[in-house]
A and B are shown apart, each in its own frame.
Chain A
Amino acid sequence: MSFDPIPYDLLDAFKHFLSVFGSTMLIAIIVCFIVGVLTRGLKGVADVFSGILDFFVQMIHVSCRRVWSLSVLTIREALRQKILFVFIIFAVLFMFAGWFLAGAADRPDLQVQSYIDFVLKAISWLVIPIMLLLACWSLPEDIRLRTIHTVVTKPVYRIEIVMGRMLGFTLLGTAILVVMGGVGYIWINRQVPESAQYKLVSKVPVYGAISFTDREGASTAAGINVGDIWMYRSYIEGATKARAVYKFKGIDESDAINDKLVLQSSFEAFRTHKGNMGAGGILYQFIFVNDDKNLRVPSRPLINKEYSDNVLEINRKLKDDNAEGGTGAELDIFTDLVDKEGNLTVEVQCLEAGQLLGMARPDLFIRTPDHAFLSGYSKAVFGIWLPMVIVIMLGVTISCFVKGPVAILTTLTIVMVGFMSKEYMNELLSGQMQAAGAIEAWYRLITHMNSQTALPDGPVKVIIGIVDGGIINFLWLCQQIIPNFGIYSNMREYVIKGFDVSWDAALLPGIITAAAYILPCLIVSFYSLKLRELEAK
């Protein structure tokens, strides 16, 4: 697995939202007051107050009936624009998908991943751009053609116009998504051969915390780095005291499948010599440790099959047959090996001298009873619905203050940056990526100065520092405002790899992120529409 499902910190997210949203609002209000005072004097202050109040008044008086009517109008308008033609493209894609996906046909297990990936990507690449175009184009077009007059002349609040649009497009998008998701589900089930149907499940893993010991048995921050360019896994040396220690919290009988504890691992091997080539993998074993009772119970030696699911089912009753001090007594995993705090500690040991076994936190988990494939799949489709809603909100909001083509370009830019460059921005701003500022890089390029040489002191350095600082601050602002669409792509990864989509590591952050845009979008669109002369072309 290439993703690390880290639980979402809701409180931290909320604090962050409050700080960004609160400070932005504060700055906006201060600017409004200053402009108000400068242009209208004290009356300006009163106007700003009444303007702020107006939003709350309209919000309180929002009528669900009116919003619903506007939503229905929005849907009708979209249908008249032949939105449902998208299904033709969808059908064509699925009819010919087999041509493009026959690559790993010899490995049905790998092929399943390609099918799921294709279906989810196809749906999101069709639905999101179309909803983006509709959301951005609709309001400016109504203003241009003055059809908006038929609405604004009725007793309707501006905020209701915005909400109606957002709700209408969301309902339409949801309907399209449900149909496509359903067809995609049937397609996957029909396409996956009988021999690989077992891969269509939603595994429910319980992950633990990982720590390491070195070859002498002392605690260490990480294992050995074997020089892999992807530093995702850390390695332990075989036939030494080096261990990876996994601590699983809150393990009890409900986590057993048919009275068995199921451990699933996907470690990576690194050989320093050929070793036994016929075995099919490196030997390793698990050791269940309960320090409270001074117990160390090893499993039988296991063969690590790389890039496959290595599943070990252990009867809950097992013998304490540790060669070093085992009593031979029968033990129960859930009563004897889980410690007083409910933790199950599992050590991983590589058994072959000169060979190394690499692992990361998600590489070992306790597999609890599986959910149906539909469970994970529907959550992944929900993971397309959420960014679609964000795109609709952004599109409608932006179209409230600019014309259609500009709104499309702006929203598209935000979506593309959110999908493709958010990680890059995060790395750049967090200092993980060592990079010079844009102007400094440009200066070094034209003066043929390498990145190790310090810039010469003087006004040039000062100017570059100031300008680059401004750019970085702007980038920081973009990072705060642009939604991280990457979290929604991650949901797809879960299903592709046969897992149920995690609630606290994927669904919750997805929902919270989408929810965080509702209020800012409503505020911005309300004031944009309020201040805009709808008669203007």
Chain B
Amino acid sequence: MNKLTSKHRKLAYVMAIIVLLIPVIWLGMPSTGEEGSGGELAQLRVQHELGESTLGDVDPSSASMNFVLLGLRGIATNLLWMDANDYQKKKEWAKLRSTVDSIILLQPHYMKVWDFQGWNLAYNVSAEWDAVEDRYFWVKEGIKFLNEGVTRNERYPELDWKVGNLHGQKVGRSDEWRQFRNFYKVDPDAERYEGGPDPEINPERLDNYQVAKEKFLIANEKELKHKQHLQMRMLFRASPWHAQFDYANAMQREGKFGKQRTDAWAQGFKDWTTIFGREEFITPKGPIVLEWTEDDIKNLAGRDENITEADVRHWTNRYQDTSNYRFWRTRALSESETETIDAHKAIYDGEQLFRSGKFDEAKVQLEKGMALYALVLNKYPSLLSEDLAIEEGLQAVILWRYIHDLKGLQVPASFPLKPLWNKEQGRVPELENDLRRRYGIQ
């Protein structure tokens, strides 16, 4: 039996509480924000960058929501995900958007949620709408959503990369890329944005690929500190420079062949060879650089006695193949030349003339473009390893042959891009279908 009096018992309880408080305080005292302050757990949190504030901006509503839900966050999140799926199925877009926001309140540092829902808004929800203006609105929603994810999670280079990808690929490569690229500079909501772009998307009124490049550069910067798990490191780090090429190429697709386009290609070549090309990447046989000299090979091989110059050459070659390094180097170089510009311009003009029904003039331009393009391909045969370059030539030939059909003319036995035409016959049917859709050819 307990022989202690009530008073003694209470004293014992107080003592026990004090004794237990010592380890609790030692372990759990919160940090004051200064380095080294706080209990053991707070210091470990800082050391391993696990604290809420070290992950990114803290949203007070999110933190309070998690606090209020106690241990039921998982269940609440699951219910919200089911709701979000249901709203998407039933095309309740406003509810979907607010439910996604609620999910984010509960899981602010779970990268996959930002990734999936950002993509879902920009791709899936956008595609559900019929008007291009509405589709663009939802692409912007996806970008804004991911932007929010970036500010709340500073340790995920993947998220910055995804933002860059939406600015670049989604805006610049969708079916509606012409309209999207225009909207990027002049938002369709003219009343709200006064004839300018949405400042949350494009504050500096740049091209979408220029913004993409900026975002990819931020991703690259973060990647130096925090490992990304998206793709091979070399390919991840090539993204800003690809965005530069896309920027130059997009101008070409829109028929802009002036100095701005040539400068963009020149800048692309410079970035590719002096920044990306000179970056060291680790291979199973030590480091390599893609833009190399004999001295580089010797130096790199000399760092480790187990690695020979042949090893370095072998792995450099493999990595160059993987990143299509040589192709882009040659392409960027060739695009600065007058001959190449003229070839692109003639083919582009031929296509535009064809579109407007001026078949005779189109034929002349296409023939000129094909002849010039053949010269470019002869000069830079490595261009034949890339789809875009091949398709441009084949499309010119298809249109040129189609004009012959329309006019009832015999296609000459010999024509400038014949070797390419014969070699790439496998691609022709798909390209023909594509052109039929594009030009309404029956």
A interface residues with partner B (beta carbon < 8 Å): 2, 96, 99-104, 106-107, 110-111, 113-114, 117, 229-230, 232, 268-269, 271, 273-274, 277-278, 280-282, 304-307
Contact = CB atoms under 8 A, between A and B. Distances in A.
Contacts of A230: 89-91
B92 A2 contact: yes
Given A110-B97, A113-B94, A268-B91, 18 more contacts: A2-B91, A100-B61, A100-B98, A101-B98, A103-B101, A104-B93, A104-B97, A106-B141, A106-B192, A114-B98, A230-B90, A281-B130, A282-B130, A305-B130, A305-B131, A306-B129, A307-B91, A307-B93
30 contacts: A96-B61, A100-B61, A100-B102, A103-B98, A103-B100, A104-B93, A104-B97, A106-B140, A106-B141, A106-B192, A110-B93, A110-B94, A113-B95, A114-B94, A117-B98, A230-B91, A232-B90, A268-B130, A277-B132, A277-B176, A278-B132, A280-B130, A280-B131, A280-B132, A282-B130, A305-B130, A306-B131, A307-B91, A307-B129, A307-B134
A385 B313 CA distance: 79
A104 B94 contact: yes
Nearest to A100: B61
Contacts of B175: 274
B431 interface: no
B437 interface: yes
Given A103-B101, A273-B437, A281 B131 contact: yes
B92 A111 contact: no
A238 B92 CA distance: 26
Nearest to A117: B95
B26 to A, nearest CB: 35
B133 interface: yes
A307 to B, nearest CB: 7
B437 A274 contact: yes
B137 interface: yes
B317 interface: no
Contacts of B90: 2, 230, 232
Contacts of A268: 91, 130
Top 6 A-B pairs, shortest CB-CB distance: A110-B94, A269-B130, A306-B130, A99-B61, A103-B101, A280-B131
Contacts of A232: 90
B113 interface: no
Contacts of A103: 97-98, 100-101
Contacts of A110: 93-94, 97
B179 interface: yes
B105 interface: yes
Contacts of B94: 104, 107, 110-111, 113-114
- Residue among B90, B105, B130, B131 with the most chain A CB within 10 A? B130
A281 B130 CA distance: 6
Interface string B120-133: 00000000011111
Interface of B: 60-61, 89-95, 97-98, 100-102, 105, 129-134, 137, 140-141, 175-176, 179, 192, 437
B61 to A, nearest CB: 4
Contacts of B129: 306-307
- Residue among A111, A114, A307 with the most chain B CB within 10 A? A307
Contacts of B95: 113-114, 117
A496 to B, nearest CB: 9
Nearest to A2: B90
A417 to B, nearest CB: 16
A107 B100 contact: no
Contacts of A96: 61
Contacts of B133: 280
Nearest to B141: A106
Contact of B137 (A2, A101, A106): A106
A369 B97 CA distance: 32
B403 to A, nearest CB: 24
A2 B61 CA distance: 31
A304 B130 contact: yes
Given A106-B137, A107-B137, A274-B437, A229 B89 contact: yes
A117 to B, nearest CB: 7
Nearest to B176: A277
Contacts of B140: 106
A282 B60 CA distance: 45
Nearest to B92: A2
Contacts of B105: 100
Nearest to A304: B130
A29 B192 CA distance: 71
Nearest to A118: B98
Nearest to B61: A99
A96 B68 CA distance: 14
Contacts of B141: 106
A280 B105 CA distance: 35
Contacts of B100: 103
Contacts of B97: 103-104, 110
A287 to B, nearest CB: 22
Nearest to B192: A106
B98 A306 contact: no
Contacts of B89: 229-230
Contacts of A271: 130
A101 B99 CA distance: 10
Contacts of B132: 277-278, 280
A110 B138 CA distance: 13
Nearest to A232: B90
A277 B188 CA distance: 14
B334 to A, nearest CB: 32
- Residue among A107, A273, A278, A304 with the most chain B CB within 10 A? A107
A453 B94 CA distance: 43
A222 B297 CA distance: 71
A526 B110 CA distance: 54
A106 B141 CA distance: 9
Given A113-B94, A269-B130, A305-B131, A100 B101 contact: yes
